[in-house]
Amino acid sequence: MESEDDIIDDLVSMEDDFYSGDFSDYYDDPNDEDNDYYSDGDDDYGLLEDDEDDQEAVVSRRDQLGYTVLKEADIKQRQEDDISKVSTVLSISRVDATLLLRYYNWSVSKVHDEWFADEEGVRQTVGLLETPVVQVSNARELTCGICFESLPRDNITSAACGHPFCRTCWQGYICTTINDGPGCLSLRCPVPSCNAAVGQDMIDKLATIEEKKKYSRYLLRSYIEDNRKTKWCPAPGCEFAVDFAVGGGNFDVSCICSRNFCWNCTEEAHRPVDCNTVAKWILKNSAESENMNWILANSKPCPKCKRPIEKNQGCMHMTCTPPCKFEFCWLCLGTWSEHGERTGGFYACNRYEAAKQEGVYDEAERRREMAKNSLEKYTHYYERWASNQLSRQKALADLNQMQTVQLEKLSDLQCTPESQLKFITEAWLQIVECRRVLKWTYAYGYYLPEHEHAKRQFFEYLQGEAESGLERLHQCAEKELNKFILCDGPSKEFDEFRAKLAGLTSVTKNYFENLVRALENGLADVDSQAVAACSKTTSSKNLGGTSKGRGGRGKGSSKTGGSSRNVDDTSN
Amino acid sequence: MQASRARLFKEYKEVQREKAADPDIQLVCDDSNIFKWTALIKGPSETPYEGGVFQLAFSVPEQYPLQPPQVRFLTKIFHPNVHFKTGEICLDILKNAWSPAWTLQSVCRAIIALMAHPEPDSPLNCDSGNLLRSGDVRGYQSMARMYTRLAAMPKKG
């Protein structure tokens, strides 16, 4: 027990030393806002009664700044509402309103602005014609513009422009575009010079049931994918989307399918590490796999939407498939509009050359040496990253087991209502969250620059403390709890246990929140103090006549941690 | 299959009927396969291709006209948007901007237009594209004219 108290004291003193209370404003009131985000769920956080989905959400609730999880029905509802709004305000059909909204990425205000600024222009660009461009003759037969057959009028259909095509050709045309992908949402009349839009009314009239389904699927997807404020939850098979209020500095969101992910890069939630580091880390982890080798050798990601693109023909001027349509240079992946004289031609793209030249400056020997070291270094961090990942999964499973079986049992055994056993669930939720943070600190550590000794040492110290604090909590929630589950009847020590576990939970929670903040700051708080401590040691060394600067790295290490001396001592 | 055959047959009859309509284009269907066509197009005047006759090969897919035909130059040509070795053509209407309302005849017209107005920003032949991009119009024209003489004009004597 004593050692535990020590740890708790350490953690608390840590806080006082380095973070002097500037977190409070950040984390103070998660509960006030929470109810807004999950307004469709239960009002109170009756953890034990809720299904597990909601509980996962609670894991990261303190990180939330503002987002809503949308189910398919919600998405449809919002889409319908937006269409109705535009249709009413502009007095146009719902079909036209849909076309307009899609063109302007489902931004109602943008549609209004553009429309009222220049209705004619908008009609022209989106292809909403008011009158046919072709005078329909009174002839009994018309010639279809695709199969060139003369057919009775009944068989001929046109978009708003009046260009005549037979039903069969329309069906073929619509079927081909729908099967080509979401580009079918901006379908135009087949006449190349005509830009009349083909809307959902035509699709409904002419497409098969299967195609109509696809079309409305694309329309729904477009509402999420083209909208800047919404994204799909990246979990496989999950059909929920997240509406994110851009503005906060934190991108972690948790879907009600229980997936926690980063809204910015859609990888799993990765605070305190930033998105770029995560992307590098994930690429590195999978770099060895065959798949990755093939993708790297044969494709490049679109610089805008990141979908891998295989180039199988044509020139270097690439145009990503709709809806992205980003134009870029295959060689340097720069935007195409910047190409031409400035890059000195096309196959001889300057930026590509420049990148190659940079590589030339590396001395071959140094590189070989570094490769070996870096592999060892990588293995070190990867193993720890992966083991925390595993540990988190185990903890999730345990949490589940706890909620479904153990708590009930424990409640009977200790004669305590389940509602009073919340602290156990909370402890496990905290463990799951801490494992996640801890895991990502290893990616953070891997990319922390070698030469920033003070930062590295401090980081490793913080990480070590986090690791042991979490172990303490994990042990308590796992092993010590077991005693009470296995015993025969109510135990007096249960109240003590409750206090201890709740205490550890809260202390660990605080510590990890501080850790996350510190790492997100790039250890800025720590830097000044640690450097100060560092310069103190070096200056004292200088007095002693040794070399300058940060030279004595090995020896200095224990002293550079001087700013945290009190903790060093106690943990020894 | 049936639809594409019917449509090609219509185009075939149209070509037979309007043979003199466009003297710059001569479209010929393969004797045994209606999905294979060749065309002879005249190089547009006031371009380095003037005086040359260029042969195009069409390979029409079964989904035609919902899918575009594949077209390439059989005659060697020095042009920014034509692959110098394979004759492959970089033209939007043959790829993503295809519309079933286009015909083989109108594709030929589009290719003639491309010959007169090269698009050096999307080069398939970079030497050619770079000459134009760097403003060396004379250099480009003389190269193009030389290849027109070498490959697209009947040998004299």
pLDDT (tens digit per residue) in B70-109: 999 999 999 999 999 999 999 989 988 899 999 999 999 9
Among A361, A389, A422, which residue terminates a domain? Answer: A361
Same domain (yes/no): A89, A208: yes
pLDDT, position A204: 93
Cβ–Cβ gap B101/A146 under 8 Å: yes
C-alpha A512/C-alpha A11 separation (Å) is: 10
C-alpha A30/C-alpha A41 separation (Å) is: 16
Six-digit token string for A141: 């037969």
Q: Does B87 touch chain A (CB under 8 A)?
A: no
Residues of chain A contacting residue B67, judged by C-beta atoms under 8 Å apart: 176
Mutation target to probe the B interface, by most B beta carbons within 10 A, among A146, A330, A335 is A146
The torsion of the CA quartet A467, A472, A474, A480, rounded to 10 degrees, works out to: 170
Closest residue in chain A to residue B95, using alpha carbons only: A314
Percent of residues, chain A, with pLDDT higher than 90: 25
Residues of chain A contacting residue B91, judged by C-beta atoms under 8 Å apart: none
CB atoms within 10 A of CB A30: 15
Cβ–Cβ gap B133/A316 under 8 Å: no
pLDDT, position A70: 92
Sort A278 into a burial class: Cβ within 10 Å, 0-12 / 13-18 / 19+.
Answer: buried
Cα distances (angstroms) measured from residue B113 to each of A122, A150, B52, B91: 30, 30, 15, 11
Same domain (yes/no): A407, A540: yes
Average the pLDDT over each of A286-295, A329-338, B79-88, B143-152 and give the range with the smallest value.
Answer: A286-295
pLDDT, position A412: 84
Is residue A307, in this structure, part of any structural domain at all?
yes
In chain A, the number of structural domains is 3
Among A225, A256, A291, which residue terminates a domain? Answer: A225
Percent of residues, chain A, with pLDDT higher than 70: 69
If one compares A350 and B33, the residue with the highest pLDDT of the two is B33
pLDDT tens readout for residues A72-101: 999 999 999 999 999 999 999 999 999 999
Same domain (yes/no): A396, A520: yes
Q: Which domains does chain B have, with CATH numbers?
A: 1-152 (3.10.110.10)
Sort A423 into a burial class: Cβ within 10 Å, 0-12 / 13-18 / 19+.
Answer: middle
Residues of chain B contacting residue A173, judged by C-beta atoms under 8 Å apart: 66, 100
Is residue A242, in this structure, part of any structural domain at all?
no
Question: Any alpha helices (H) in A165-272, and if so which ranges?
Answer: 167-180, 200-206, 209-225
User: Distance from first CA to last CA of chain A, Å, rounded?
Assistant: 16
Of A145, A315, A319, the CB nearest to B124: A315
Is residue A264, in this structure, part of any structural domain at all?
no
B151 touches B77 (CB < 8 A): yes
Same domain (yes/no): A21, A132: no
Task: Return the H-helix or E-strand segment holding A424.
Answer: helix A422-447
- Residue A361 carries which DSSP code? T
Same domain (yes/no): A425, A344: no
If one compares A54 and A299, the residue with the highest pLDDT of the two is A299
C-alpha B79/C-alpha B72 separation (Å) is: 13
| Residue with token string 């107005």 | B117
pLDDT tens readout for residues A306-352: 777 776 665 667 788 877 888 887 767 778 777 666 655 555 554 44
C-alpha A253/C-alpha A265 separation (Å) is: 11
Same domain (yes/no): A470, A562: yes
C-alpha A62/C-alpha A55 separation (Å) is: 13
Residues of chain A contacting residue B99, judged by C-beta atoms under 8 Å apart: 190-192
pLDDT, position B54: 95
CATH number at residue A104: 3.30.40.10
Among A225, A248, A266, which residue terminates a domain? Answer: A225
pLDDT, position B157: 47
Specify which residues A157 forms β-bridges with: A165
C-alpha A190/C-alpha A309 separation (Å) is: 28
Of B3, B63, B96, the CB nearest to A147: B3
Residue B122 confidence class, pLDDT cut points 50, 70, 90: confident
C-alpha A568/C-alpha A565 separation (Å) is: 5
Of A147, A191, A339, the CB nearest to B6: A147
pLDDT over 50 at A46, yes or no: no
A424 touches A503 (CB < 8 A): no
Nearest to A519 by CA among A449, A469, A560, A459: A459
Q: What average pLDDT does this structure show over A474-484? A: 84
Mutation target to probe the B interface, by most B beta carbons within 10 A, among A184, A193, A211, A315 is A315
pLDDT, position A294: 58
Six-digit token string for B13: 């009859």
The identity of residue A146, as a single letter, is I
Same domain (yes/no): A216, A117: yes
CB atoms within 10 A of CB B63: 14
pLDDT over 60 at A23, yes or no: no
Q: Which long-range contacts (CB under 8 A, 24 or more apart) does B25-30 make?
A: B25/B105, B25/B108, B25/B109, B25/B112, B27/B104, B27/B105, B27/B108
Identify the sign of the CA torsion A7, A9, A11, A17. Answer: negative
Same domain (yes/no): A297, A345: yes
Specify which residues A318 forms β-bridges with: A328
Backbone angles phi, psi at A253, to 5 degrees: -130, 155
The identity of residue A354, as a single letter, is A
SS (H, E, C) A281-339: HHHHHHCCCHHHHHHHHHEEECCCCCCEEECCCCCCEEECCCCCCCEEECCCCCEHHHC
Domain that holds residue A346: 281-361
Closest residue in chain B to residue A164, using alpha carbons only: B101
Is residue A188, in this structure, part of any structural domain at all?
yes
pLDDT, position A316: 67
Q: What average pLDDT does this structure show over B27-46? A: 92
Same domain (yes/no): A397, A338: no
ipTM above 0.95, yes or no: no
Residue A215 confidence class, pLDDT cut points 50, 70, 90: very high
Nearest to A48 by CA among A501, A425, A476: A425
CB atoms within 10 A of CB A3: 10
Is residue A266, in this structure, part of any structural domain at all?
no
pLDDT, position A349: 56
Is residue A244, in this structure, part of any structural domain at all?
no
- Residue A256 carries which DSSP code? T
Residue A450 confidence class, pLDDT cut points 50, 70, 90: confident
Residue A224 confidence class, pLDDT cut points 50, 70, 90: very high
Q: Give the pairing of strands A150-152 and A141-143.
A: antiparallel
pLDDT, position A487: 77
Percent of residues, chain B, with pLDDT higher than 70: 97
Q: How many A×B Cβ pairs under 8 Å?
A: 68
B149 touches B84 (CB < 8 A): no
pLDDT, position A287: 63
pLDDT, position A197: 94
Is residue A153, in this structure, part of any structural domain at all?
yes
Is residue A255, in this structure, part of any structural domain at all?
no
pLDDT tens readout for residues A550-565: 333 333 333 333 333 3
Residue A377 confidence class, pLDDT cut points 50, 70, 90: confident
Same domain (yes/no): A126, A161: yes
Nearest to A33 by CA among A67, A70, A78, A71: A67
Average the pLDDT over each of A8-22, A169-183, A218-232, A284-298 and give the range with the smallest value.
Answer: A8-22
Same domain (yes/no): A479, A390: yes
Q: Does B61 touch chain A (CB under 8 A)?
A: no
Residue A542 confidence class, pLDDT cut points 50, 70, 90: very low
C-alpha B140/C-alpha B148 separation (Å) is: 12
pLDDT, position A420: 84
pLDDT, position B17: 86
Looking at every residue in chain A, the average pLDDT score rounds to 75
Residue A549 confidence class, pLDDT cut points 50, 70, 90: very low
C-alpha A346/C-alpha A565 separation (Å) is: 59
Residue A40 confidence class, pLDDT cut points 50, 70, 90: very low
pLDDT over 50 at A63, yes or no: no
pLDDT, position A334: 76
Same domain (yes/no): A357, A340: yes
Most confidently predicted of A115-119, A304-308, A532-536: A115-119
A122 touches A96 (CB < 8 A): no
Backbone angles phi, psi at A413, to 5 degrees: -60, -45
CB atoms within 10 A of CB B46: 7
Backbone angles phi, psi at A310, to 5 degrees: -100, 125
Q: What stretches of A402-479 adopt beta strand conformation (E)?
A: none
pLDDT, position A200: 92
